[in-house]
Structure 1
Amino acid sequence: MSSITPRKLLGAGALAAVSLLALTACSGGGAASQSTATDSSGGGGGDSGYVISMVTHETPGDSFWDKIRAGAEQAAKDTGATLQYANDPAADKQAQLIQTAIDSDVDGIATTLATPDALAASVQAAADAGIPLVGFNSGIDQYQDVGALMYFGSDENLAGQTAGERIAEAGGEHPLCVIQAAGSVALEARCAGVASVVPGTENIQVNGADDSAVVAALQAKLQQDPSIDYIVTLGAPIALDALDAMEQSGSEAKLITFDLNADAAQAIKDGEIEFSIDQQPYMQGYMAVTSLYLYLKNGNDLGGGQPVLTGPSFVDQSNIDAILPFAENNTR
Structure 2
Amino acid sequence: MSHKLSWRKLAAAAVLVPALTLTACSSGGGRAPEAGGEGGGAVADTERIKVALITHAAPGDTFWDIVRKGAEEASAKDNVELQYLSDPEGGRQAQLIEQAVQQGVDGIAVTLAKPDALASALQNATEAGIPVVSLNAGEDRFSELGAFTHFGSNEKLAGEAVGERLAEDGYEHPICVIQEQGHVGLENRCAGVKEKVPGTEILYVQGTDMTQVQSTVTAKLQATKAADVVIGLGAPFTLTILQAVETAGSDAKVASFDMNAELAQKIVDGDVIFTVDQQPWLQGYMAVDALWQNKRGGFEIGGGQPVLTGPTIVDQESAGEVLEFAEQGVR
TM more than 0.5 = yes
In the alignment, which residue of structure 1 is the partner of 2:21?
none
| 2:245 alignment partner in structure 1 | 246
Unaligned runs of 5+ in 1: 19-30
Match status 1:62 vs 2:55: no
SS, match of residue 181 in structure 2: coil
Match of 2:47 in 1: 48
**1:146 corresponds to:** 145
Whether the 8 Å CA contact 1:67–1:282 is kept in 2: the answer is yes
AA of the residue aligned to 2:193 = V
Deviation at 1:36, TM superposition (A): 8.2
Comparing 131-140 with 144-153, greater Cα deviation is found at 144-153
TM-score (norm 2): 0.92
**The residue matched to 1:146 in structure 2 has which SS?**
coil
Q: How many pairs were matched up?
A: 316
Structure 1 vs Structure 2: percent identity of aligned residues? 47
Q: Secondary structure at the match of 1:72?
A: helix
Following superposition, the deviation at residue 8 of structure 1 comes to 5.0
Partner of 2:10: 6
8 Å Cα contact 1:6-1:155 kept in structure 2: no
Query: What residue identity is the alignment partner of 2:35?
Result: A
Q: Is 1:159 paired with 2:158?
A: yes
1:14-53 paired onto structure 2 within 5 Å: 15=17, 18=18, 32-33=25-26, 37-39=35-37, 43-53=42-52
Distance 1:225 1:185 in 2: 26
CA offset digits 1:139-198 (Å, max 9, x no partner) = 011111212111000000000001000111111111000000111000000000000111
Name the CA distance, whole Å, in 1 between partners of 2:251 and 2:233. Answer: 19
Checking the alignment, whether the CA contact within 8 Å between 1:40 and 1:81 is kept in structure 2 is no
Displacement of 1:321 after TM fit? 1.2
Residue 43 of structure 1 contacts residue 80 of structure 1 at CA under 8 Å; is this kept in 2? Answer: no
Contact 1:9 1:309 in 2 (8 A): no
The code of the aligned residue for 1:188 comes to E
SS of residue matched to 2:140: coil
Q: Following the alignment from structure 1 to structure 2, what is the Cα–Cα distance between the partners of residues 303 and 173?
A: 38
Letter in 1 for 2:98: Q
Deviation at 1:205, TM superposition (A): 0.4
Residue 202 of structure 1 deviates from its aligned partner by 0.5
* DSSP 3-state at the match of 1:232: strand
**2:193 and 2:183 mapped to 1: Cα distance?**
16
Any gaps of 5 or more consecutive residues in structure 2?
19-23, 28-32
- Check the 8 A contact 2:35/2:76 in 1, yes or no: no
Match of 1:28 in 2: none
CA contact (8 A) 2:36 2:73 kept: no
Determine helix, strand or coil for the equivalent of 2:207.
coil
| SS state at 2:133 partner | strand
Could you say if the C-alpha distance between residues 2 and 46 of structure 1 is closer, same or farther in structure 2, counting changes exceeding 3 Å?
A: farther
Mapping of residues 180-329 of structure 1, within 5 Å: 180-329=179-328
SS of the aligned residue for 1:319 comes to helix
| Residue of structure 1 equivalent to 2:30 | none
Q: Does 1 or 2 have the higher relative contact order (CA < 8 Å, sep 6+)?
A: 1
2:26 and 2:124 map into 1 onto residues whose CA distance is: 22
In 2: Cα distance, 1:136 partner to 1:277 partner = 17
The verdict on how the C-alpha distance between 1:144 and 1:8 changes in structure 2, with shifts beyond 3 A counting, is: farther
8 Å contact 1:283–1:310 — kept in the other structure? yes
- Asked whether the 8 Å contact 2:206–2:213 carries over to 1, the reply is yes
**How many Å separate the matches in 2 of 1:320 and 1:127?**
41
Question: Which residue does 1:178 correspond to in 2?
Answer: 177
**Secondary structure of the corresponding residue to residue 143 of structure 1:** coil
Query: Shift in Å at residue 47 of structure 1?
Result: 4.5
Taking the aligned partners of 1:57 and 1:36, their CA distance within structure 2 comes to 20
